[in-house]
Structure 1
Amino acid sequence: MICHIDDFLQKSVKKFPQKMLFKEMGGVSITYKEFDDLSQKVASKLLSTLTPTFTQSPILIILPKSINTLISFFAVAKSGNFYTLLDEKMPLERIEKIISVLKPKAFITSKSLNLKLDLATLYTEDFESYERDEEALTKARLKHIDTNLLYVFFTSGSTGMPKGVSISHKSVIDYAFWVSEEFELDENEVIANQAPLYVDASLPDIVGSVVNGGSLHLIPNASFAFPDEILSYLEKEKITMIFWKPVIYNYFAPNKESLKPYPLKYLRKILCGGDLLSAKTLNIWRSHLPHTLFANLYGPTEITDVCCFYKVDREFKDDELLPIGKACKNTELLVFDENKKFINEVGKKGELYVRGTSLSLGYYNDTEKTKAAFIQNPLHNNYLDLLYKTGDIVAYNEFGELLCYGRIDNQIKFKGHRIELGEIEAVLNSHEKIKNSACIFKDDKLIAFYESEEELDLKGFLKEKLPAYMLPKQSIKLAKLPLNINSKVDRLALYASI
C-alpha cells in the first residue's frame, strides 16, 4: 500500500539505483541512490533539530530551482513534516507575510543567498556532512498517515495576504497514479521541466520521473528567454516529454518556420496547462510534430494541479477554443449556475466545481477563506461532501467536453450583455501576427492589449469574428505583455498602465 510519496522513490531506488534521476541543465546530476541517501541525511538532521510535537511542522525552503531543492522536498517528507518553497527572488515583505501565516519551525536555504531568518537553519552546503539516523527515520515513518500534508503552496490573495494551499500525500499519490497511467509513463521517460518548483505545475515532472524510474532535466527559469538554446537542448538530451505553460509554447513557435531547425524526433508527449492554450499555437506545434501526443490539462492549485484533461484527437481552427476536456480518474466535475442549480446541457455556461481525492485540505491557517472556497455539495446534505469552487466559467460542447471561458472575475456585464474577456482573447490570439493578448475592462471601456512586432489595425479582423458589443474600444500594442511569477499575464499591471 502506497501511503507516503517516498514509497514511490524507494521502489525506484531498488530497481534503478545507479540511474540518473535529476540533472541540472549544463550542471550536475544525481542518481536515484545518491538522491535517496542525501535526502535521508537531511531528514535526519531536521528530526534532530526540531522539537518533537504531536502535529506536523511547517518547514520553509528558499532556494533556486536545483537538485538541492528536490532533496529538501523529500527530506522534509521523510521527516514526517511538510514544506513550503518560496522563490529566492521574492520580496522580503511578501516572505514576511507568508511566514506570519505559516509560522515555520525550520528553514532550508543556501549560504550564497545570504538570507537570515530567526529560525533553525539548514544550509545546502552542509547536506553531505549530515549523519543518517535510521532509528529516527523509522519512527517518523511509522507515525505517518496519507492525509498528512506534503506541502503548502502560497498563491495570491485578493486582500493582499497570500493563501496557503494545503495538499496531502494522498492527493499527490492519487495524482501520480493517474498521470503515470493516463500518459503511459515508464523508465524510458526523459522529461524537461519548465515550471518553477514552487508551483504545482512541476508535479507531473517530479512524480512522473520518480514513480516510473525516469529522468528529469531541470531547466532554469531564465533560460526560457532563449528558445533556440532550449530547443537544441531538447534535441541533444533526447527529451521525450514536456509539460509547459501556454505562454512558453507561444514564444517558442510564433510561426511554423521557427520550429523547422529542430526535428525533436524524441519528443513523444507534449502537455500544456496553467492557462488557456490557443488553437493557433497548438496547430503550429502539431504541424511540426504530427505523430506526437498533445494534451491540454486544466486545474487550479487547490485540486493538486489537474482535474480534467483533453488529448487532442481532431483538427481545430485557429480561432476555436480548445476543450479542457473531461474529468481525471477519481475526480468529478460539476457545473452550477449562480443559484447553485446543476447544469449538464450543451452550451449553457456556469461555474465549475470539483470533488474528489485531489482536493486541497483547505487554506493553511485561514478557516474563513477555506469555508468560502470549499463548500458542501449543493446536490445533497446527507454527509460531508466538499466541492472546490474554481471561479472559472465553463460549458459543455457537443462532445461532452468542457470549454473554459476564463475567470468569473474576468466576466463583465456591458451594454446589457455578459462578456467573458477570455473569448475576446481567444479571437485575438488567433491573429497570425499576435503572440499573446489580454483584455481588461476599465472606465466603462473594453481595452485589448496585444503582443506583436508591428502595430495592427484589428477593427476589421475582430468585426468578422465578434458581435459589436464585444469589440474593444481601444487596442494597445506591447512589445511584451507583463507576466507574474507563475508565467501568467499580470492583469493588475495592465490596469495600472492606463
Structure 2
Amino acid sequence: MAVWQSNVMTKKLPSNLGLLFYEVAGRRKDATAIRYPSGKTISYQELNNRSNQIARLLRRNGVQERSVVGIFNNKSTNAYASMLACIKIGAIYTNLDINSPWKRTNKIIKNCNPSLILDDGAAAEMISAVRQNNSCPAIDISDRAFQNDYKNLDQENLCETEALSGSNPAYLMFTSGSTGFPKGAVITHDNVLNFINWCSDAFSINEKDVLTNVSPMYFDNSVFDFFNSLFTGATMASVQDTINKNPQDLVSTVNALKCTIWYSVPSLLVYLLTAKALKKSDFTLLTRIVFAGEGFPKPKLKQLFELYCDRMTLFNCYGPTETTCLCSSYKLSKDDFEDLNELTPLGFMAPSYKYIILPVDESNLNFGELCLMGPGVGAGYYNDDERTRESFVQNPLNQESQEIMYKTGDLVRRAENGFLHFKGRKDNQIKHMGYRIELEEIEAGLNSLKYVDAVGVVYKHLGSGLGMIVAFVSISTKTSESEIIDDIKKIVPRYMVPKSIKIQPSLPKNRNGKIDRRQLEELL
C-alpha cells in the first residue's frame, strides 16, 4: 500500500468565502452575476447589496455564526442571496428539496436543527408541517413582505465577515444514508476556496464565461455552478427544473442564455441525446462540457464527442460529496473511444490531494477502495459522530501526525500511467441518475409500511451504464404494486422510487438470516 500525491498548490487564498465575494463583487459590480431564461439579469452590485441586507435580517432573526439555515431553494434571486448572506455571517446553509417527501425532509431538519427555515416556494403543506413539527421559525422569502423587511436595511459589506476563518463550515449537503437517515456532509470555507481555485485552472474559467445551473440546488452538482460562477466574476445561467423536463426547451434555453460551460450528470446529456434534442448547430457558444456523478455510457459519450469535439473540450470528472463536489478531471480525446466497454478514466487528482488504495486482495495493491486526503476533504457528517468515525479516519501510513482521509467506498484500479478507473462500490450504494443512493434507505422506507413483512432492494444493470431500482417485498395484507409505489413516493425522493415492485410469498435468506440480494438479482 502506497500514498500517491498530486502537485502541491502554492497560490495564496483569501481567509474566507465572504471576503472573496466582496472582492469579486467590487471588481465586477456592473457585470451580470445571474441570468434567467426570462431575460432578467442581476448584477454583482445588486446581488452583493441584497445579500448584505438579508444577512442583517438573518441576524435580526437570531441567526448566529455556525447556526444552520435551511433553504427550500427554487433558484430565485432571494434564495441565491440568502446563501451568500449565510456565508458572510458564518452561518451554515443547507438547501432543501422542495419536492422531497415530508418524512425525509423532517429527518434532515431534525438532524441539523436549523435556527431558521427560508421558503422559496415549497408547498404550503410542507411549510405547515415544518412549523408544527419543529421549533424553528419559517420565513417566506418569495413574497413582498420579505422584500419590505430587508429593503431598508444597510447595504454595506459586513464588518463581521473579516473575523471568519477558513475552518468555518459553509454548507451542509445531505446524501443518502444506509440506516434510512440522510447524512449531512460538512464543507468548510477552506474546502470551497480550494475547489474554486482548482476549477478555475482545470477548466479555464474566466469572467467572460456563462455557466449553466441546471442541477437542483439541493444536489451536490450545484456546488460547481454556484461557486465557480459567482466567486470568479463569471455569470450563472439559472435554469428551472421545469425546463429540464423538456429536452427541446432545455437545449433552446441554454442556447438563448449564451452559456459557455455546461456542467451536469451524464444522465441529463444521455437524455438529450436519446430524445434527439441535440444538433451540431446547438450549443454554439459552449466551449467546455463537464460531467460527473456517474459513469457515462461510452456509445452515448462517443455520440456527444463526435457532435462537438471540433469546437468543445469534454471533461469526465469525479468526486464524492464529502470532498467538495469534485477532486479529479480527465480531458477526453478520440483515443478514448477505441474501447467502448471501458468507462472513461477518472484522470489525475486535483493539486495537493493525496490518495491511497486499500486493497481488496493483497496480491493486487492497485485495486481496492479509494481513500482521499487533501484540501477538499470535508469536516465529517453534521451531528453524526458515529458515521463520521466510520468514514473519516486517520491515514494508516502516517504515524507522525494527524492526517484524516475519507474512505469513499468506491473501488478503483490504478493503471500504469497513474490514471484511476472506477470499478464499482464495496457496499450497497449505487449511482442512479447521478444521485448517490443507499439501497438500505429505500428498504427502510418500504419497511416502514405496516403491510410490508420483508423487503430487499437491488439494482438491475441494463447495460451502457444505465440501470433501474427493483424492490422485492413480502406483504401481510393484500396490496397492489401500484399502491406500494404510491406509498413509497411519500417517504423517499422521486429518484429513489423503485421502477418495479415484485411481490413475493417470502424472500430468500443467506446463512446469517439476512435477505440474500444475490438470489434476488437472479430472479430478475
Which among 43, 53, 56 is matched to residue 44 of structure 1?
Answer: 56
Is the counterpart of residue 322 in structure 1 residue 344 in structure 2?
Answer: yes
Q: Which residues of 2 match residues 276-315 of structure 1 at below 5 A?
A: 276-291=295-310, 292-313=312-333, 314-315=335-336
Q: TM-score under structure 2 normalisation? A: 0.76
What is the one-letter code of the residue matched to 2:61? T
Alignment pair present for 1:428 and 2:445? no
TM-superposition CA deviations, 1:125-182 (whole Å, max 9, x none): 31354143579931x3243111000011111111111111111010000000000111
Flag the 1:365–1:333 CA change in 2: closer, same or farther, 3 A.
Answer: same
Q: Alpha-carbon deviation of 1:110?
A: 3.9
Deviation readout 1:438-478 (Å, 9 max, x if unpaired): 588989xxxxxxxxxxxxxxxxxxxxxxxxxxxxxxxxxxx
User: What does 1:360-439 correspond to in 2, within 5 Å?
Assistant: 360-409=378-427, 425=461, 428-429=463-464, 436-438=466-468
- Give the 3 Å change call, closer, same or farther, for CA 491–90 of structure 1 in structure 2: closer
Query: Which blocks of at least 5 consecutive residues in structure 1 are unaligned?
Result: 413-421, 431-435, 444-481
Task: Give the match for residue 140 of structure 2.
Answer: 123
- 1:332 corresponds to which residue? 354
* Deviation by residue 1:377-430 (Cα, 9 ceiling, x = unmatched): 121332211110101111022432111022112599xxxxxxxxx9995x9218
- d(CA) in 2 for partners of 1:26 and 1:51? 33
Residues 133 and 438 (structure 1 numbering): CA distance in 2 closer, same or farther, change over 3 Å? same
* Amino acid aligned to 2:463: L
Q: Is 1:267 the counterpart of 2:286 in the alignment? A: yes
Q: 1:225 to 1:362 in 2, by over 3 A?
A: same
Cα 1:342/1:132, change in 2 over 3 Å: farther
Paired residues, number = 435
| Structure 1 Cα separation of the partners of residues 296 and 318 of structure 2 | 10
Cα deviations by residue, 1:232-261 (Å, 9 ceiling, x for unpaired): 222223211101111111111138x65236
Root mean square deviation, CA, Å: 3.0
The DSSP-based 3-state class of the residue aligned with 1:282 is helix
- Which AA in structure 1 matches 2:153? R
Partner of 1:231: 251
Kept in 1, the 8 Å contact 2:212–2:262? The answer is yes
| Structure 2 residue matching 1:265: 3-state secondary structure | coil
Deviates more, 1:313-322 or 1:167-176: 313-322
Offset at 1:214? 1.1
Please tell me whether the aligned partners of residues 63 and 109 of structure 1 are also in contact (alpha carbons under 8 angstroms).
yes
Per the alignment, residue 15 of structure 1 pairs with 27
| 1:359–1:112 CA distance, 2 compared to 1 (3 A) | closer
- For the Cα contact (< 8 Å) 2:100–2:494, is it kept in 1? no
Matched, 1:215 2:235: yes
TM-score, normalization: structure 1?
0.80
1:221 to 1:441, Cα distance in 2 relative to 1, 3 A: closer
The question of whether the paired residues in 1 share the 8 Å contact of 2:55 and 2:86 is answered with: yes
Could you tell me how far apart the structure 1 residues matched to 2:157 and 2:285 are? 44
Structure 2 counterpart of 1:353, one-letter code: C
User: 2:196 — aligned with what?
Assistant: 176
**Which one-letter code corresponds to 1:31 in the other structure?**
S
Shift of 1:91: 1.6
The correspondence for 1:60, drawn from 57, 70, 82, is: 70
Shift of 1:79: 2.0
Percent same amino acid among aligned pairs? 27
In 1, distance between residues paired with 2:211 and 2:183?
30
CA distance in 2 between partners of 1:225 and 1:46 (Å)? 34
Counterpart secondary structure, 2:400: coil
Aligned twin of 1:465: none
Counterparts of 2:177 and 2:350, CA distance in 1: 27
Q: Deviation of residue 12 (structure 1)?
A: 2.0
In structure 2, the residue matched to 1:167 is 187
Q: Alpha-carbon deviations, 1:46-100, whole Å to 9, x = none? A: 1122166xx6111111132332221110011112211111011122222221121
Partner Cα distance (1:440, 1:16) in 2? 50
* In structure 2, distance between residues paired with 1:441 and 1:101: 27
